[in-house]
């Protein structure tokens, strides 16, 4: 049956793109028929490299999103990430929206709170990172798109000041059996999926401590 196909173990030569673990990876089938592996160490679920979308496919998909300050639904969505972060921020700080998309919105919302946040997006610009380091970085609905989470996390760590705050917004997976029907994996540009253990691994590997957010979709990580 479908679940038997989705829950087979392989010893194929695979490296985890987050923790670099090699070993026996659980093989999963997603709702679109693409293949995935689950890391036995950090439990990241990641798409087979041969199935990864092209840059053109990624950009065209992102361009269809109805995002922007003029869309109330999108504003409410981003406010889920802003609300738990606000108690840790003040107006003397400088921040970055890492992956702002074609219509930067989070920086606009933070400006209404008196907070300075710059924009960065490799597809839609500004495509060059602003110079210097930041007190806080938001990555809202970005981590699921990362082909190499380890590379991006190293970059984010370099960009964050000591004690800086990383705000990650992504939906966490719960069970392997549900993965083959999971709506969040129906987007071909969603290629990396995290759970609670994956977040704990990120903290251990990259020197973060986790702060409570009160929202299962929002992860607050403070750099050491």
In 3-state terms, what secondary structure has residue 149? Answer: helix
Instruction: Report helix angle 196-206 to 149-159, nearest 10.
Output: 50
As a whole-number percent, the residues of the chain with pLDDT over 90 amount to: 89
pLDDT value of position 23: 83
- Distance between CA atoms of residues 178 and 176, nearest Å: 5
Q: What secondary structure letter does DSSP report for 13?
A: S
pLDDT value of position 13: 67
**Rounded mean pLDDT, 98-119:** 97
CB-based contact 81:138 (threshold 8 Å): yes
pLDDT value of position 5: 44
- Distance between CA atoms of residues 118 and 94, nearest Å: 8
Q: 160-212, pLDDT tens digit by residue?
A: 999 999 999 999 999 999 999 999 999 999 999 999 999 999 999 999 999 99
- Distance between CA atoms of residues 14 and 123, nearest Å: 28
- Distance between CA atoms of residues 161 and 166, nearest Å: 10
CA atoms lying within 13 Å on the CB side of residue 186: 5
- Distance between CA atoms of residues 74 and 189, nearest Å: 19
């Amino acid at each position: 049956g479908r679940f038997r196909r989705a829950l087979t173990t392989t010893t194929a030569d695979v490296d985890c793109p987050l923790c670099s673990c090699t070993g026996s990876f659980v093989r999963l089938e997603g709702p679109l028929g693409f293949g995935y592996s689950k890391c036995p160490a950090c439990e990241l679920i990641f798409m087979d490299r041969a199935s990864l979308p092209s840059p053109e496919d990624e950009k065209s998909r992102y361009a269809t999103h109805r995002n922007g300050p003029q869309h109330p639904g999108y504003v409410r969505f981003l406010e889920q990430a802003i609300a738990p972060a606000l108690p840790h921020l003040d107006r003397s700080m400088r921040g970055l929206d890492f992956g702002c998309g074609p219509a930067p919105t989070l920086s606009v919302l933070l400006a209404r709170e008196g907070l300075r946040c710059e924009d960065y997006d490799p597809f839609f610009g500004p495509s060059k990172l602003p110079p210097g380091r930041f007190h806080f970085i938001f990555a809202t609905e970005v981590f699921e798109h990362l082909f190499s989470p380890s590379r991006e996390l190293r970059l984010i760590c370099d960009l964050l000041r000591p004690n800086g705050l990383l705000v990650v917004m992504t939906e966490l997976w719960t069970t392997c059996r549900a993965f083959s029907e999971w709506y969040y994996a129906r987007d071909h540009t969603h290629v990396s999926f995290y759970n609670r253990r994956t977040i704990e691994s990120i903290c251990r590997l990259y020197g973060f401590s986790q702060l409570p957010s009160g929202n299962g979709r929002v992860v607050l990580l403070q750099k050491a």
